[in-house]
Structure 1
């Protein structure tokens, strides 16, 4: 598996993966409204701070992830998604995050990585914790697409020794 730069050819695949208001909110917080469309996505991807990538293996696309530059040495992992439900739970998410960490460290010279995950997304949280991310803030009160109140966990990982 490898991470490659997100391209226009990947756009329809990503749009098809985000198939419900709940998944859209889980994946992007309040960044995008549902239904996700090319206009919203294109406007987001032109931002120079965004490094969008797609997880590939043998010509198949498995997931999407972004690195968002907060400063010269700090990046945020954003919009992490394994696309097809049948591909979830097989280690693809962990591998994608590992590759993104390596890309941030070697290609972007990042010293710190941050991310936000909703507390009830236990599988994602366990993945991030197993890769060395630690919670530094807990913030309740995010209203999801279905009206529920979700708690966000802010996590970080230091990449320098």
Structure 2
């Protein structure tokens, strides 16, 4: 498994993978409108603080993950996604571990943070198994299809 830079040629991956309005919101929150398109992805990835990566497993594109520079030494892990063909195959944890190591060694991160919807139990448990702890909870700030989605904020020192 390796992480490589997410390039313009990879935009079609996200457009294909994120195939419903609900999945789009679960993955990207209010950042993107469904359906994803080249312009939205390009505008997002052009931001200096966004560091996007593709996860490659056995030569195949298996997922997407981002680092977002919050401040010197503080990065947020964002928009973690594992492609359908790779779900249930243990990709998330090693992908996150590689990103965490990259954040520490190449970007001098001391603090990593993330946000996860409270009902996303699989992701929440994965983050907790890597040492992330819930630091706060937001209610009433996110909703989908008229249903409120609680947001958990998590952090880990590296």
Query: What is the TM-score with the length of structure 1 in the denominator?
Result: 0.95
> Is there any run of 5+ residues in structure 1 with no aligned partner, and where?
none
Q: Contact (CA 8 Å) 2:75, 2:103: kept in 1 or not? A: yes
Q: Alpha-carbon deviation of 1:24?
A: 0.4
Instruction: Report the equivalent of 1:14.
Output: 14
Aligned residues, how many? 158
Q: Map 1:53-92 to 2 at 5 A.
A: 53-84=53-84, 86-92=85-91
Q: Contact (CA 8 Å) 2:113, 2:156: kept in 1 or not? A: yes
Q: Alpha-carbon deviation of 1:148?
A: 1.3
> Structure 1 residues 134-143 or 10-19, which shifts more?
134-143
> Structure 1 residues 140-149 or 1-10, which shifts more?
140-149
Q: Secondary structure at the match of 2:131?
A: coil
Query: What is the TM-score with the length of structure 2 in the denominator?
Result: 0.97
Alpha-carbon separation, structure 2, partners of 1:70 and 1:58:
32
Q: Alpha-carbon deviation of 1:69?
A: 0.2
Instruction: Report the equivalent of 1:99.
Output: 98
Alpha-carbon separation, structure 2, partners of 1:145 and 1:5:
31
Q: Contact (CA 8 Å) 2:132, 2:156: kept in 1 or not? A: yes
Give the aligned CA root-mean-square deviation in angstroms.
1.0
Q: Secondary structure at the match of 2:150?
A: strand
> Is there any run of 5+ residues in structure 2 with no aligned partner, and where?
none
Q: Alpha-carbon deviation of 1:57?
A: 2.0
Q: Secondary structure at the match of 1:141?
A: coil
Q: Contact (CA 8 Å) 1:21, 1:145: kept in 2 or not? A: no
